[in-house]
A = this chain, B = another copy of it.
Amino acid sequence: MIIVLKPNASSEVVEELLGAIEQRGLKPLHMPGTERVVLGALGDERMLHDLNLESHPQVESVKQILAPYKLVSREIHPHDTIVRIGNAAIGGNRFCLIAGPCAVETEERLRESAQAAKVAGATILRAGAFKPRTSPYAFQGHGEDGLKILAKVGQELGLPVVTEVMETADIPAVVEYADAMQIGARNMQNFSLLKAVGKAGKPVVLKRGMAAKVEDLLLAAEYILAEGNDQVVLCERGIRTFETATRNTLDLNAVPYIKQKTHLPIVVDPSHGTGIRDLVPPMALAGAAAGADGLMVEVHHDPAHAWSDGAQSLHPHQLKELSERLQGLLPVLGRSFA
């Protein structure tokens, strides 16, 4: 850690800080300059957390040298983690398609949409039973009844299922009926929930928050791994920016950046990332080209009458075509379609 002191910092403060650094087992360094005094601390920077150096009245700024996360870091764990969801896998050289409707509407409707996902080559089925909605007057999901329908349709088609948990209280039911738990963008920093899914011992798909930096996403994943669960799939689904032409700004830069920093797999959600049906296929291909380990795509057998997210749901034939294009593209990228 590098600590830049204010121009007027006293020599007493220099002594005090160097002593505190040494006391915590790090090697202190003193660099007196003409305009600022700079201090260094070599070793495990996490030991300095309780010093709260940013708060010190004579400290101008602090620069961390090491990443603030540890278990998710590729430096410590260089090999790709492969996350297994039912009989499917995410990570490594195979590319995974997760597809399904936004929400469980009725059993018949889910079955139709799920068949479309299966036909297109999806190996994991997605659909929400607990739905986070901006307005309290919008459809909120069927809850546990929806989970049962989801589990039934998944089993019929031989597809493992992933579905959202909105709070700790949802976890037991989701663990019973689903193969993986999804944390939505709005809950990415619901730390109580992160700890709880970390303990629940099922795979987690963790979506990036709308205002979350990549580092925040990795720290959110660190919460889950710190509870002993390393079966975490990250998901880039767009961030909120000033651009209003699309629902979100899909930040594909994050894909190769994250692949450098962590061993966890990352999938791209071009449905929420664009919010516009016709932009989903090109951005799905772009996500694959950027190096994602898979896609999470909304498909609906009848988008015009979907109960939610219809504007961004693919028609079955669009998902099929996308899948065929992916099968052409992936070998060029050194990957195979799972």
A166 contacts across to B, CB distance below 8 A: 190-192
In the complex where A2-B2, A283-B256, A329-B332 touch, is A36 in contact with B55 (Cβ < 8 A)? no
Is A50 interfacial (CB 8 A cutoff)? yes
Residues 204-239 of chain A, each 1 if its beta carbon lies under 8 Å from chain B, else 0: 000001110111100100110010000000000001
Interface string of A284-314 (1 = CB under 8 A from B): 0111111100000000000111111111010
Q: CA of A226 to CA of B140 in the docked complex: distance in angstroms?
A: 14
Residue A250 contacts which of B29, B240, B252 (CB distance < 8 angstroms)? B252
Mask, A231-257, CB within 8 Å of B = 1, is: 000000001111111100111111111
The verdict on A278 contacting chain B, using a C-beta distance below 8 Å, is yes
A residues 118-132 near B (Cβ < 8 Å) are 130, 132
- Identify the A interface with B (CB < 8 A): 2, 4, 7, 27, 29, 31-36, 38, 40, 42-43, 46, 49-50, 52, 54-57, 63, 65-66, 68-69, 75, 130, 132-140, 166-170, 186-187, 189-193, 209-211, 213-216, 219, 222-223, 226, 239-246, 249-257, 260, 273-274, 276, 278-279, 282-283, 285-291, 303-311, 313, 325, 328-329, 332-333
